[in-house]
């Protein structure tokens, strides 16, 4: 065993003894001579690796095939999209001549309503409202495209809703001039009529340009007066 040197810590002394013990075991097993013999006969340079030849796969040439079509449409002639595109482009470029002060209805039927006719209908509606019983609150509403053609959403005056109508969503009854009743959905948050208003507007053929007077005869019931604008009353001025 190795002699513990002066100034050596216990850890270093223990490590020194372990190293000496391992050396004696290697000498007993003759491992040092075996490792030297293996190093003598081992090749100094490794054998070169065999490189695999990469296979080059050529891309297959696509073969044109007829487009897949439904069996129900197989007997019909093939659509030529180039012709369709040309037709749609011509339609997009074309626009009809519009008369000054007139607005053509998207729904068709009846012809244009001039701005003059709109103003006359609104004036008659205001006059009618002034003649109604002041005990029942009322307001005048001009009909626009979004009210009667697309969307069918009728916004009501905010001050009127805050003062006279319920604070929560409810069903509002619309009574026409023949005392027929129609139900409509009132949205308190949006302050307007939604479901049911479309049926009332279509049933009474209310047009973009007409004016209406709503009179609140009950807490959730409106009497609706319709003042129609003259159709085809234009200003005889053309704009190229």
Q: What value does the mean pLDDT take over residues 169-180? A: 94
Rounded Cα gap, residues 22 and 24, in angstroms = 5
Q: pLDDT digits over 27-81, tens only?
A: 777 766 676 676 666 666 666 666 666 766 666 666 666 666 666 556 666 655 5
pLDDT digits (tens, 9 = 90+) for 85-132: 444 444 344 344 444 344 434 344 456 788 998 999 999 999 999 999
Claim: this prediction has a pTM higher than 0.75: no
CA-wise closest residue to 238 among 94, 98, 112, 96: 98
When pLDDT is averaged across residues 145-158 and rounded to a whole number, the result is 86
**Lookup: tokens for 166:** 């319920």
Contact of 208 with 147, CB cutoff 8 Å: yes
Average pLDDT over residues 126-155: 90
Which pLDDT band, with edges at 50, 70 and 90, does 190 fall under? Answer: very high
Cα–Cα distances in angstroms (integers) from residue 87 to residues 76, 81, 96, 106, 190, in the given order: 20, 10, 17, 22, 43
Taking the C-alpha atoms of residue 183 and residue 178, their distance in angstroms, rounded to an integer, is 15
Q: How confident is the model at residue 161 (pLDDT cuts 50, 70, 90)?
A: very high
Task: Give the CATH H-level superfamily of domain 113-227.
Answer: DNA-binding pseudobarrel domain (2.40.330.10)
Domain boundaries, the chain: 10-35, 113-227
The one-character DSSP state at 99 is: B
């Amino acid at each position: 065993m190795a002699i513990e040197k002066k100034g050596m810590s216990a850890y270093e002394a223990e490590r020194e003894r372990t190293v000496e013990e391992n050396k004696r075991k290697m000498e007993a097993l003759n491992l040092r001579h075996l490792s030297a013999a293996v190093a003598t006969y081992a090749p100094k340079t490794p054998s070169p690796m065999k490189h695999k030849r990469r296979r080059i796969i050529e891309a297959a040439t696509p073969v044109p095939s007829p487009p897949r079509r439904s069996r129900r449409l197989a007997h019909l002639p093939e659509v030529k999209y180039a012709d369709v595109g040309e037709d749609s482009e011509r339609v997009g470029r074309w626009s009809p001549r519009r008369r000054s002060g007139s607005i053509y209805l998207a729904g068709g039927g009846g012809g244009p309503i001039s701005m003059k006719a709109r103003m006359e209908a609104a004036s008659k509606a205001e006059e009618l409202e002034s003649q109604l019983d002041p005990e029942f609150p009322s307001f005048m509403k001009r009909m626009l495209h979004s009210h009667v053609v697309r969307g069918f959403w009728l916004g009501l005056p905010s001050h009127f809703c805050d003062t006279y109508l319920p604070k929560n969503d409810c069903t509002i009854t619309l009574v026409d001039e023949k005392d027929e009743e129609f139900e409509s959905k009132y949205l308190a948050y949006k302050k307007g009529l939604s479901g049911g208003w479309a049926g009332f507007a279509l049933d009474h053929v209310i047009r973009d340009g007409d004016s209406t007077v709503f009179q609140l005869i009950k807490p959730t019931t409106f009497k609706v007066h319709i003042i129609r604008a003259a159709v085809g009353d234009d200003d005889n001025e053309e704009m190229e």
